[in-house]
Structure 1
Amino acid sequence: MIAFFLEQMQQAPEHEAVVSDAVRISNEELLVKIDLFRSWIKQEAIHQGAVVSFNGDYSADAIALFFALADNKNIIVPLSNDSAAHFDEFRDIAQTEFDIELGNGNPKLLCRERKHSHPLYESLRETSDPGLVLFSSGSTGKSKGIVQNLRKLMQKFTTPRKSLRMLIFLQLDHIGGVNSLLFALANNGTVVVANDRSPASVCQAIERYRAQVLPTSPTFLNLLLLSRAYENYDLSSLALVTYGTEPMQQSTLEKLVSTFPDIEFQQTYGLSEVGILRSKSRDSASLWVRIGGNEFDVKVVDNTLRIRAESSMLGYLNAPSPFDDEGYMDTGDLVEQDGEWLKILGRKSEIINVGGSKVFPAEVESVLLEMPEIEDVVIYGEAHPITGKVVVAKIKPTEPLSSREMKKRIREYCVERLSSYKIPVKVLVTAETTYNERYKKMRREIK
C-alpha cells in the first residue's frame, strides 16, 4: 500500500504536496525526505515490527517519517504536541520500543529497554503489515489504545477521488487527521497547514493558500462564529466544510449556513475503531446524514448505531473487544432514522435520565448557544437522590456574570423553549475552555 502513495507522488513530482508558512514542498521533495528517513531508520537499527512513537504535528518531516515507518512495517504511535501532558501515559499503554522527537533539527531517538508482545502486535508482525496506534479522546473516561492495520486503512484510498487543497485541522493522532492526509496524498491534493488552530490562523491559511476543504469539529466552528475572524480574510476558495467528532448543535449549523451561504456544510461520521465512513448530508442546514460505503455495513438496533467495517481495528490494547460475533461494533451513538437518513443524537453514555425522561446534551446546548451571554457551554448530568440525575450547564460567558445571574437568565430564556426537566438546575460559570485539545466537548458526569 505504501507503494501506491509513493507512485502517486512520482507521477506528479512538481505538484505542491505540503504548504504552510514554515515550508512549501513538492511531491518530489517529499519523496526525498521519505528516502532520508528510510536511511535514518536503517542506520538507527529500528527493526521491522517495532513499536515506534513520534511527536510532532503536521509538517513535511512528520509526514515523511510517517510514511518511512509504514514502509519499514513498524507499528506507529503518532503523538500530537497538543497532548504532551499524556505522552508518558500513551507510550506506556502502547509499550513503545522507540520514541522519536521531531524538532527544528535532526530527529532525536530514545531506545526503550522493553519489548512488547501484545497479541494484536503479534498479528501484525505475522503478516508483515504496518500498524497504527491511536487513542480515544477520553472525553468521558480513560483513553483506550486502538490498534489498526495500517495497510487496510490505506487500501480504501486507492479508489480515485477529486484532487483538493485540504486544510488539515485534526492532527496525526486522530483518525480524522490520518484520513485527511491519506486522502490528499492519494489524489495528488495539497496538505495546507495553519500556524495553529485558532480561528484567525485557520482563516489566514485558507486565504493565503487557497484551501478548498476544511475538515473540523462543531466546537471549532462555534468558536469561528464567535471570533468573527472570517470578516478579516478572503475565504472565497473554501467550498466545503466537513464536521464530525461530536454532535453538531442545530443553532450553530443554522448560523454557519447563514454566515457562509456559498460554502457546503457536510456532516461526517467515523470512529478510530472502524475508520471514517462516506457520508452525505441531506442539505447544508440539515443534521440528517446518510453514511456507509462499499466497505461498511451499517444497521440500527434499539435506536443505537452499529457498524461493521473492513477497516475495523484489530482491538484495544487495554480494554476488551467491542465487536459482537458478527463483527459489528455498538458505537454507543443513539440515532433517529428516516429511511436511509440518520440523525446522530449523542452518545448513549452521555444521555441524562431525569426522572425517566431523556435529555440529549446537544439539544440543550443548541438552545443555550442562542443566548448572547454565552460563548460556549457543555451539558452533563449530576446524580440526584430523587430524580436520579439533574442537568448541569458549564458555561463560558461572553460577559462577567455570576452563576446565580446566569442561572436566572437561562431559566427565563428556556422556559418557552425547553421542557422543564431539560432546563439546567445547576449552572457553573468558568473562564476556562469547555473542550479538549481535539476541539471536542469534555463531558464529565458527576455521580
Structure 2
Amino acid sequence: MIFKPLINGFSQFSNQIFLNDPEHSYTYAQLSDEIRVQLEWLAANDVPRQAVIFMSGDFSFAGIALFLALYQNGHIIALNTAENPAEIQNKQAAANPEFVIDIDTRQILPCVCAQAPENLMIGELKKQGHAGLILFSSGTTGTPKAMLHDLDRLVGEFSEKRSRRLDIFLFLLFDHIGGINTLLNILSIGGTATIAASKTPDTVARLIEKHRITVLPTSPTFLNLMLINEVFDTCNLSSLRMITYGTEPMPESLLLKLRERLPRVKFLQTFGTSETGIITTSSLSSDSLYMRFQEGSSEHKVVDGELWLRSATQVMGYLNHSMDSFTDDGWFKTGDLVEVNADGYLKILGRSKEIINVGGEKVYPAEVESVLLRHPQVRDCKAYGEANGLTGQFVAAHIVLDSDYGDSTATVLRDIRQFARRLMDAYKVPVRLKSVEAIQYSTRFKKLLID
C-alpha cells in the first residue's frame, strides 16, 4: 500500500516516542503498525473507502491510529467527544454518517440515521479522492453547525514542517480545531505527545514534570485553575518553554500573574476558528495581549471593529446551515471584536454577542474580570450582563473568594466593588456581585455564559 506523505514520513522517526499515555509510551514505528491494524479492521468489517464515519472518543493511541487510517482511506470523519445522548443524536443527524465507531469500546455499527441524500460537498471531496473532516459548533442544546473541511488540505499545511524534538501536551479535545492542529503539528515534526486520563491541574502539572514537557497549549481558564490549585509550587515545571493560550480572552492581570510565576516561559496567544482553521500568530511580547497574524495562507481585515478572516484551510461549507457568516468573496465574520494598535497588532476584546450594553456604553467582560482578579481576595470570576429597565443592562459578576478571608462575605464583596470603582469607569463596575464556590466551565475549559 502506498501511504499518504504524512503517514509515510513516520519512518524517519521510527524509534522516537510518539505518545505518552497514562500507562504506556509508543514509538512512531508502533503507530505505523497500529495504522495497518486499523486498516485491516475496517476492511474486515466491510467499511467501504470514503464512507462517512461518525467517530466518538477523545485522544488515545488507538484513536489516533484509527483517525489516520480513516484519513488514509479517504473517509469523511465526523469527530465527537461528547457523551450527552441528545447532543450525539443532533450531531449524527447533521453529519448523516454511514457508520458509527466508538473508540473506547471498539464497536463499529451501520448508522440508521443515514437517510438523507449525500451532500454535494461531500460528493465533491470523494470525486477528488480527498478525506474530509466534520467539526461541530459547541453547545449541548439545539442543532450544532456541522462544518466540512478538506482534510487533505488541512494536512497539507504541515507538509513543509521541519523535524523538531518537542514534547507537547495534547490538551485540547480531539473534536476541537485546536486539538487537530496540535496533533498534526506533532506528527509532522516527529514530536512527542502526552495525554492525560483526566485534565485536573494537579494531573497535568505532574505529567509536565514526569515527561519534561516543553509546550502546553491550553486556555486562560485552565491556567487560572493551575494558579488556584498552586501547582506551580508543588510541581517542577522547569521544562516548560512555551505556553500557548486561546479559545477565550485572556484577562491581562491573569497573564501578568502567570508571567510572574513562570518568568522563563514564552507565552503565545493563538487564534483560530472551526471555520478557518488555526492562524499562525506572534505575540507582541509574553506579557502583552496584542498579537499579529503572520503572512502565509491566511489574510484578515477589521470591519466596524469586527475581525474578518479568509484562509486556505477554511471550511468548504456548513452541511446543515446557511453561509450567512461568510461574505460572497469568502471572508468569514468571526464575531470577535478587536482593537488595532499603531503597529498593526491586534487585541481581542471579546465576542460581540457577549458585550454588555450599559446605557449605550460597551463593556467587555474580560476587562471587568481583569480588574476583579487584581483584588487579593478574588481567585476567579465571571462578568456578565443582567437586564435593566433604565440602562438596558448592568454589569454583574460571580466571584470565587479566597478561602482564608477574615471578614464577612458581604464586607469582602463591598471592598471588591470599591476596589473596582477606583480602577474602572462607573458604568463598568459590577452592580451585583455574587460569591460562588466555583466558576462553571465547559469540557473545553472555557467559562460558561451565565444566563
State TM-score, norm by structure 2: 0.93
Structure 2 counterpart of 1:366:
370
Deviation at 1:82? 6.6
Q: Is the 8 A contact 1:83 1:437 kept in 2?
A: no
* CA deviation after TM superposition for structure 1 residue 406, in Å: 6.0
Equivalent residue number for residue 271 of structure 2: 269
Partner of 1:212 in structure 2? 214
Other structure's SS at 1:261 match: coil
**Cα distance in 2, alignment partners of residues 109 and 317 from structure 1:** 23
Which residue identity is paired with 1:53?
F
Task: Supply the distance in 2 between the matched residues of 1:258 and 1:94 (Cα, whole angstroms).
Answer: 46
Question: 1:45 is matched with which residue?
Answer: 46
Distance 2:240 2:98 in 1: 42
**Is residue 225 from structure 1 mapped to residue 227 from structure 2 by the alignment?**
yes
Aligned 8 A contact 2:305 2:339 in 1: yes
> 2:288 and 2:220 mapped to 1: Cα distance?
14
What is aligned with 1:331?
Answer: 334
Q: Contact 1:139 / 1:443 at 8 angstroms: preserved in 2?
A: no
Q: Which amino acid aligns with 1:307?
A: L
- Alpha carbons of structure 1 residues 430 and 89: separation in structure 2 relative to 1, 3 Å: farther
Q: Structure 2: how far apart are the matches of 1:141 and 1:360?
A: 27
- Decide which moves more: 87-96 or 240-249: 87-96
SS of the counterpart of 2:387? strand
Contact 2:363 2:428 in 1 (8 A): yes
Correspondence 1:423 to 2:429: yes
CA contact (8 A) 1:133 1:147 kept: yes
Q: Secondary structure at 1:313's aligned position in 2?
A: coil
Task: Give the equivalent residue in structure 2 for 1:108.
Answer: 107
Decide which moves more: 125-134 or 222-231.
125-134
Change (3 A) 1:4 1:294: same
Q: Quick one: which amino acid aligns to residue 326 of structure 2? A: F
CA distance in 2, matches of 1:44, 1:184: 30
How far 1:110 moved relative to its partner? Answer: 2.0
Question: For structure 1, which segment, 432-441 or 349-358, has the greater mean C-alpha deviation from structure 2 after superposition?
Answer: 432-441
Bigger drift between 136-145 and 207-216 goes to 136-145
Q: State the Cα distance separating 1:317 from its structure 2 match.
A: 2.5
Partner of 1:397: 401
Q: Secondary structure at the match of 1:158?
A: coil
State how far apart, in whole Å, the 1-side matches of 2:44 and 2:432 are: 59
Does the C-alpha gap of structure 1 residues 235 and 353 become closer, same or farther in structure 2, counting only changes over 3 Å? Answer: same
- One-letter identity of the residue aligned with 1:289: M
Q: Which of 192, 198, 223 is the equivalent residue of 1:190?
A: 192
Answer with 85-94 or 65-74: which moved more.
Answer: 85-94
How far is 1:54 from its partner? 2.0
Structure 1 residue matching 2:158: 3-state secondary structure = helix
AA matched with 1:45: D
Deviation at 1:139, TM superposition (A): 9.4
Map of 1:435 onto structure 2: 441
CA distance in 1, matches of 2:365, 2:6: 41
- CA gap 1:140/1:287 in 2 versus in 1, 3 angstroms: farther
Say yes or no: does 1:380 pair with 2:375. no
Structure 1 residue 372: deviation in Å? 3.5
Is this contact kept in 1: 2:382–2:439, CA < 8 A?
A: no
Q: TM-score, normalised by structure 1?
A: 0.93
Letter paired with 1:434: Q
Conservation of the 8 A alpha-carbon contact between 2:76 and 2:134 = yes
What is the Cα deviation at residue 2 of structure 1? 6.4
Q: Using the alignment, how far apart are the partners of 2:85 and 2:412 within structure 1?
A: 34
Q: Secondary structure at the match of 1:415?
A: helix
Deviation, structure 1 residue 100? 1.2
Matches within 5 A, 1:23-42: 23-42=24-43
Partner of residue 147, structure 1: 148
The Cα offsets for residues 158-217 of structure 1, whole Å up to 9 and x where unpaired, read as 012434111111011100100000000101111111232111111111111111100000
How many angstroms apart in 2 are the aligned matches of 1:383 and 1:318? 33
Unaligned runs of 5+ in 1: none
Deviation at 1:268, TM superposition (A): 0.6
Q: In the alignment, which of 242, 245, 249 is matched to residue 243 of structure 1? A: 245
Question: Could you tell me how far 1:408 is from its partner in structure 2?
Answer: 2.3
- Taking a change above 3 Å as real, the CA distance of residues 240 and 367 of structure 1, as seen in their structure-2 partners, is same
Per-residue CA deviations over 1:40-99 (Å, capped at 9, x if unaligned) read 111112223322122222211010010011111111122225767732332222222211
Does the 8 A contact of 2:439 with 2:447 survive in 1?
no
